[in-house]
A and B are shown apart, each in its own frame.
Chain A
């Protein structure tokens, strides 16, 4: 199996998907597949009662500098050990992100498409429940400004998605620990 080229970035600036894709295209000559995923802030979402569409708030993204990069590299390494990937590119933004702004990018290339699809999904599932990022709502509009900004809660469905890639014996500490309430 060929060795993978891994590139991980945590940054406040936006990223240009076309440039990243072009790089992967040029640098993956023996691959037949490139998979690019982008996670972004919603522009509209349903209100608390699930009835009306409303403008979303901006998000303030905090992270643990140093540990974040280390975890992302470990996850990319795991993906490279599971699938024959030529390139793995991870970018995660931090700071204040407005409605519709890009948050995260996962891009991989592989000889065949099934491996690229699987690796992309694996990386997003793990990143969401293992990388030390935290989102806080940030109200943009005057009528909402008297409401307090809230930290978002983690979703049980994200943990379930992350766990399905591991056998019980291999389950990472973070995914295991969250079973036990304090």
Chain B
């Protein structure tokens, strides 16, 4: 299983805080993002037409990062703390 979480404006726009997905085959973060984007035009817009960062197991990663069973993947907008 994969746990996918969303934060801030992305969480609100998608009306989704968390997803549990079954991982059938090895998948990169980019491939996961593509699959999620196919869900609807809204998901495509939010994930692929704006700047989105991704972390795996709370560590920032590039899109070519390969996902493992049990990983926690996070998608979120540019950060604005401080």
Contact = CB atoms under 8 A, between A and B. Distances in A.
B7 A104 contact: no
Consensus secondary structure, chain B interface: loop
B81 A133 contact: yes
- Which among A63, A92, A131, A132 has the greatest number of chain B C-beta atoms within 10 A? A132
A177 B53 contact: yes
Interface residues of B, number: 25
Contacts of A130: 79
Interface string B44-79: 000011111101001111100000000000101111
Contacts of A133: 79-82
Consensus secondary structure, chain A interface: mixed
B7 A64 contact: yes
A62 interface: yes
Interface string B8-22: 110010000000000
Contacts of B51: 178, 181-182
B79 A129 contact: yes
B76 A132 contact: yes
A151 B53 contact: no
Contacts of B76: 64, 132, 134
A178 B82 contact: no
Interface of B: 5, 7-9, 12, 48-53, 55, 58-62, 74, 76-82
19 contacts: A61-B81, A62-B8, A66-B58, A67-B74, A70-B59, A104-B81, A104-B82, A128-B79, A128-B81, A131-B79, A131-B81, A132-B55, A132-B74, A134-B79, A135-B80, A151-B77, A154-B80, A182-B49, A182-B50
Interface of A: 39, 61-64, 66-67, 70, 92, 103-104, 124, 127-136, 151-154, 158, 172-174, 177-178, 181-182
Given A131-B81, A133-B80, A134-B7, 13 more contacts: A64-B55, A64-B58, A67-B59, A104-B81, A104-B82, A127-B82, A129-B79, A134-B77, A134-B80, A135-B80, A153-B80, A172-B60, A174-B60
